[in-house]
Amino acid sequence: EDQVTQSPEALRLQEGESSSLNCSYTVSGLRGLFWYRQDPGKGPEFLFTLYSAGEEKEKERLKATLTKKESFLHITAPKPEDSATYLCAVKPETSGSRLTFGEGTQLTVNP
């Protein structure tokens, strides 16, 4: 069964304190890994797509990386507006176009 596990469940940072979020996955074959940001009461907002081990994508203070077993979302010098839940999702080879989501990491950045 395809599984996505995110850690930690919650993370509190001070503004400017860099850190990383982890997404480990077990799938029959990976067609793509996706990172989304979700604000309270809102829909997931697309951030990145990764496919190949070693691939990296960057956007402002965020950088996503991918290995054969996991993905990391690195947050450099975060600001309070980066506070949100970060979701990782995979598209397994057996799934067609469906996404399988992890539970998310709730990030709080204090000023």
Give 103-106's long-range contacts (Cβ < 8 A, gap of 24+): 103/5, 103/6, 103/9, 104/6, 104/9, 104/38, 105/6, 105/7, 105/8, 105/9, 105/10, 105/11, 105/21, 106/9, 106/10, 106/11
Please identify which residue in 14, 54, 97, 111 interacts with other proteins, judged by CB under 8 A.
Answer: 97
Closest approach of other proteins to the CB of residue 52, in Å: 10
Q: Which stretch binds other proteins (CB under 8 A): 8-16, 58-66, 71-79, 96-104?
A: 96-104
Residues between 7 and 66 with contacts to other proteins, criterion CB under 8 A? 31-32, 34, 36, 41-46, 49, 51
Q: Catalog residues that contact other proteins under the rule CB under 8 A.
A: 31-32, 34, 36, 41-46, 49, 51, 87, 89, 91, 95-104
